Amino acid sequence: MKKNKREFPKDFLWGGAIAANQAEGAYDIDGKGLNVSNINEFVADIPLADRMERDTTSTFVNEAIESIKNHEGRNFPKLRGIDFYHTYREDLKLLKELGLNTFRTSIDWSRIFPTGVEEAPNEEGLKFYDQLIDAILANGMEPMITLSHYEMPIFLTTHYHGWYSRELIEHFVRYSKVILERYKDKVKYWIVFNQINLIGYQSFCHLGVTEDTQENLLEAKYQGLHNMMVVSAMVKEAAVTINPDMEIGMMVFADQVYPASTKPEDALAALQYSQMDYFYSDVLLRGKYPNYAFRYFEEQGINIAFYEGDEEVLKNTADFLSFSYYYSSLVSKESNENNRSFLSNPELEKTPWGWSIDPVGLRIVLNQFYDRYQCPIYITENGLGTTDIVEEDEIHDDYRSYYLAEHLKQVKEAIYDGVDVRGYYAWGPIDIVSASSHQMSKRYGFIYVDIDDYGQGSKKRLKKDSFAWFQQTIQQNGANL
């Protein structure tokens, strides 16, 4: 009888992941345009719980653009990132020393097509990614590239309505084909959209849809998501003709929930909540809209416009599933009826940013996804965002090593369960600006970057204690876990 192994595969991909908008900086050189993340503002006196972006008005967008153009001094941390645009060579050498054999980053759409509507790409932007991808390969790492990680050119939201506008499909296909053709022999693994299901969190950065786009904002968002799923399938269709060896993946945020009580109504609510998170992967991996979604849309008064050819193109399904995992939550009948909200789990410890710590939930997620799709799976984000204290150029972050070890133990258990897990990418192997709170002080990395929430600091890179732990873990292929 065949037996599963409680060990990581010999060809397992040990990686780290960042995003261009959180790391690169250099927002105003070499022809780059502004993107939707560039206008994320950090204001210290906004309560921590309110820093997670929800919806953004067109008025705020236009005021932020003017502030940036006029250099008014407001604090937009993603304009500067960690200056990876200029430091990537040194940073990648550190990640090679860490032992990574794969590295995930994104290509900033606004660096290639500054407004998104140009007929020809910005060659200076392409030259940067030529050099970056070559450097990733030269340091012995397999690149995994995300085509869209909250980097839509801002013009596409000020002059259109973000992904709600059907015109974006043409512009994104043009951009994608340029990138796939350019790197067809250098990049095997691709993700089209980062966390495509993040409708309630990075809503504006995700969709480019402002809250005053339409009277029925929820409908506008789901229409935008429909357009994104259609274009994802178009990218897969194009990739097959460009280089059939390329693998085109889809990615979700693993929003793991449990029933808030033993009441059957809460169990049903948790199921229904989860179904609408599976909706995106069901479409992109099964090639059609699931029936449960039609009831949800009807009950919410949502009408999705299907255009001629949409159903057929959606049959171009993704090659693999990838996901981010950070926390789990509880759902009750009442919370699910309240705009799909969730509850905190009192049984679990939390990070300083209020995210519950649930390593077992990662094993559950892996099993649920694999049971549903039976396809290769990559964990493309997982990590602990917290504050770090520097003491004489040393950072003693045993808490980070413990957090990651507990999660990786559950990955190993999932492999023993029979799940086809092929890679693990620690989020932010080097400190970058937080996507959700727009802070540098919310740190994930094995490498400390001396920059604060206001861009002050030496930019010096320091290895944290967790650097040596993760280095050892990779060297032993997880046998130390």
Residue 167, pLDDT > 60, answer yes
| 2 belongs to a structural domain | no
| 273 belongs to a structural domain | yes
Q: Which CATH number goes with the domain that contains 144?
A: 3.20.20.80
**Sign of the CA dihedral with 198 first, then 203, 205, and 208 last:** positive
Give the up-direction half-sphere exposure of residue 333: CA atoms within 13 A in the CB hemisphere: 8
Q: Catalytic residue numbers?
A: 381
Contact (CB, 8 A) for 224 and 164: yes
Q: How far apart (Å, rounded) are the C-alpha atoms in residues 123 and 45?
A: 41
Q: Name the domain count of the chain.
A: 1
Q: b/e for 28-61, b at 16 or more Cβ within 10 A?
A: eeeebbbbbbbbbbbeeeeeeeebebebbeeeeb
Q: Span 132-154, mean pLDDT?
A: 98
The whole domain housing 33 covers 13-475
Contact (CB, 8 A) for 434 and 381: no
| 480 belongs to a structural domain | no
Contact (CB, 8 A) for 115 and 153: yes
Which pLDDT band holds residue 342 (cuts at 50, 70, 90)? confident
pLDDT at 51: 53
**Token pair 């396809």 in the structure block, residue:** 375
Q: How many CB atoms lie within 10 A of CB 290?
A: 14
Residue 426, pLDDT > 90, answer yes
Which tokens go with 64?
């932020």
| 6 belongs to a structural domain | no
Contact (CB, 8 A) for 133 and 143: yes
| 481 belongs to a structural domain | no
Tens of pLDDT along 355-380? 999 999 999 999 999 999 999 999 99
Which tokens go with 50?
């309110």
Q: How far apart (Å, rounded) are the C-alpha atoms in residues 193 and 318?
A: 12
| 4 belongs to a structural domain | no
pLDDT at 280: 97
Q: Span 454-459, mean pLDDT?
A: 96
Q: Span 332-355, mean pLDDT?
A: 90
Strands 189-193 and 102-106: unpaired
pLDDT at 341: 83
Q: Span 51-61, mean pLDDT?
A: 74
Residue 54, pLDDT > 60, answer no
**Sign of the CA dihedral with 160 first, then 163, 164, and 165 last:** positive
DSSP 398-447: HHHHHHHHHHHHHHHHHHHHT--EEEEEEE-SB----TTT--SSSB--SE
| 3 belongs to a structural domain | no
Tens of pLDDT along 246-255? 999 999 999 9
Q: Span 308-331, mean pLDDT?
A: 97
Name the percent of the chain lying above pLDDT 90.
88
Tens of pLDDT along 101-127? 999 999 999 999 999 999 999 999 999
Q: What element of type H or E holds 249? A: strand 247-253
List Cα–Cα distances, 97 to 100, 144, 324, in angstroms. Answer: 8, 19, 25
Q: Span 393-416, mean pLDDT?
A: 98
| 454 belongs to a structural domain | yes
Global confidence as pTM: 0.96
